[in-house]
Amino acid sequence: MSELDAFREDTRQWLEANCPESMRTVGRREDMVAPGRNQKFPSDDARIWFERMRDKGWTCPEFPSEYGGGGLDAAKAKVLRQEMQRLKCRAPLSDLGISMLGPALLEFGSEAQKAEHIPRIVRGEIRWCQGYSEPGAGSDLASVQCRAEDKGDHYLVNGTKIWTSFATESDWIFCLVRTDPDAPKRDGISFLLIDMETPGISIAPIQLISGDSEFCQVFFEDVKVPKKNMVYEANKGWTVAKGLLKHERKMISELSQDFIGGTLTLRQAADEYLGYDKNGKLKEPGLRAAITRHEMNMRAIELTAYRAHLEGLAGEPDSRIPLIMKYVSTTEFQVKDELMTELLGYRGLGWDDAYFSEEELKSSRSLLFNKSLTIAGGTNEVQLNIIAKRALDLPES
């Protein structure tokens, strides 16, 4: 038995012995376990599952063991994900610190920054939010105007960030700030870590069409930030930002539709709401073709992700694939939502009426929420331009 096969067997046995049965179901957004000062568990089993995975370092399996992570290489981390998927184990912890900031700190952070923040991310003691977009800097992110003035032993931050997910629940924010207003826009940006309890920070939630208010606008008024909280170098924050965006796009492309919405599949919806003709085929040929095309695309996405994984293990990663995967994955999420709405008919348009089932209500909210996925991490329109230039090497118009 190879080392990897032995690891798979050990992992399978450990998961079967330690993952509670109630955690072996498709997770909903409300079941998500977030870290930090406001940490709450939807059930005792969720807490037990988190604590067991935390103690093993598997809340962040690929983070170095010296910081409390699992210390797994890419191959073993892939095995862990596969075995968790086989049992339908929920993620024990969800946070931008795990999927985005942590990997960026491991690449660009100082040893002191890693030692301070990475173990707390692994243990679920700190929740992070992202301070990138501004009212005048969305798709053109390098146009950020939130200022950080050098005051000797600290920076003084003034400005605002918008579309900041879960800012009201977060402990810290990682921010792009302008430290040199006279430099070319990409050259005058720095990357700061800011404690959300620092005086001068205020937060205003934003109501979304999905009914949620997880997005916020964050205001900074004479906020003092110690210089030790700058990641990498002054005016080199765009380098960190680009590195972090790679992880964000990967995270978004891997989001499970079952987690975002409900557990009803297109086939189950077709069985219940549409029915079949005498030949055993869906009554609507157009819908039948559209569902088949969607399932083929999802299978192609899955196989492409696996190919990218194997190329990475072989030391030959293709940097173009994450750019493409983010676009095609988020697009197919929306295709599924639209097909689901067609299958459900008027029952896919409910909002909070008791006349509709829980799955029907989730379907309508999922349709609206998933619209944001083609904006987060870079809008699809901008993403297509990047793909054309970097992946396809097409000439600029």
pLDDT in tens, the chain (397 residues): 799 999 999 999 999 999 999 999 866 677 889 999 889 899 999 999 999 999 999 999 999 999 999 999 988 998 999 899 889 899 999 999 999 999 999 999 999 999 999 999 999 999 999 999 999 988 788 899 999 999 999 999 999 999 999 999 999 999 999 999 999 989 999 999 999 999 999 999 998 776 666 889 999 999 999 999 999 999 999 999 988 877 776 666 555 444 444 567 888 888 888 888 888 888 888 888 999 999 999 899 888 887 877 787 677 878 788 778 888 888 888 899 999 999 888 888 888 778 888 788 778 878 887 777 777 767 788 778 878 887 788 887 6
* Predicted local confidence at residue 371, as pLDDT: 79
Q: For residue 287, which phi and psi values (nearest 5 degrees)?
A: -65, -40
Q: Six-digit token pair at 18?
A: 């330690």
* Predicted local confidence at residue 273, as pLDDT: 85
Q: What residue ranges do the domains of the chain occupy? A: 3-94, 128-236, 255-391
152-to-191, 195, 224, 228 alpha-carbon distances in Å = 17, 19, 11, 12
* Predicted local confidence at residue 252, as pLDDT: 63
* Predicted local confidence at residue 255, as pLDDT: 55
Of 203, 162, 159, 152, nearest to 181 by C-alpha is 159
* Predicted local confidence at residue 258, as pLDDT: 40
CATH architecture of 128-236: Beta Barrel (2.40)
Tell me which of 3.20.20.140, 2.60.40.10, 1.20.140.10, 3.30.70.980 is the CATH number of domain 255-391.
Answer: 1.20.140.10
CATH architecture of 3-94: Orthogonal Bundle (1.10)
255-391 and 3-94 share a CATH fold? no
The Cβ of residue 10 has, within 10 Å, a number of other Cβ atoms equal to 12
